[in-house]
Amino acid sequence: MDLELMANSFPKLLNAAVITLKLLSASLIIGLFVGLFFAILRLNKNIFLNKFAYGYSYVFRGTPLLVQIFIIYFGLGQIEYLRSTFLWVILKEPYWCAIIAFALNTGAYTSEILRSAFQTIKPGIVEAGKSLGISNKIIFYKIQIPIAIRQSLPAYGNEIILMMKGTSLASTVTIMDLTGVAKYIISTTFKPIEVFIVAGGIYLFMTFIIHNLIKFLEKKYSFN
């Protein structure tokens, strides 16, 4: 064990963890909106909208995240027509390609989490609102969404942690996130065990924070 290397690489890896957190938060925020949008489509009675939303979640949950990143980064980069459009400004940057892939991926899972949360809301609650003369729109925003969010917290907490670990794949498209910098240090020191132990420790610490944050929120919004 090269303790000196571990100590030296720690600040560099900590810096890189900031990139990881940026990737994670950007993907989660975009993914939450994408997920909510598709969850609402899933609940729609219109068969086309419903099937479209189902297809989206089916494709993105049924293929590996690595494949999705590669298709968006290397795959779309091969299409010559695309390179002459304004889309290329975004797709040229590995950072945005990674965020698009992560957001679409977590969006698919989030849509399923939210859909099942909406479906567990007892019809009685909605009916109670209606009997008080509250409009459908307000019932949806003020009653159904808050309950759905509470219901989905445990599952969504898991999704955040999975996504946090998923961001390590950003290093495959040249982004210098926590894993990317770890690999870079290994490429000059040839000591993978030491460096990956430190990087793994940082990931574990981030999981610890996220886990406790979700636990806190669960408690805060519990019905009891």
Point out which residues bind other proteins (CB under 8 A): 74, 77-78, 83, 92, 94, 172, 174, 183-184, 186-188, 190-192
CB of 147 vs other proteins, minimal distance in Å: 45
Look up residue 224 and give its amino acid: N
Q: Which is nearer to other proteins, 83 or 215 (CB)?
A: 83
How much is the CA Rg of the chain, to the nearest whole Å?
Answer: 21
Residue the block writes with tokens 């899933």: 42
Instruction: Tell me which DSSP letter residue 170 carries.
Output: G
Nearer Cβ to other proteins, position 94 or 154?
Answer: 94
Q: What is the SS3 assignment for 134?
A: coil
Distance in Å, CB of 10 to other proteins, minimum: 20
- In the complex, least distance from residue 24 CB atom to other proteins, rounded to whole angstroms: 22
Q: Minimal distance in Å, beta carbon 54 to other proteins?
A: 33
Nearer to other proteins, 91 or 103 (CB): 91
CB of 92 to other proteins, least distance (A): 6
Cβ proximity to other proteins: between 116 and 172 the closer is 172
CA distance 27 to 25: 5
Task: For CA atoms 188, 191, 193, 198, give the dihedral sign.
Answer: negative
Report d(CA 166, CA 105) in Å as an integer: 10
Q: Which is nearer to other proteins, 10 or 95 (CB)?
A: 95
**Contact between 18 and 178 (Cβ < 8 Å):** no
* Tokens describing residue 172: 């495959």
Length of the chain: 224
CA dist 87 → 72, 80, 96 (Å): 12, 12, 11
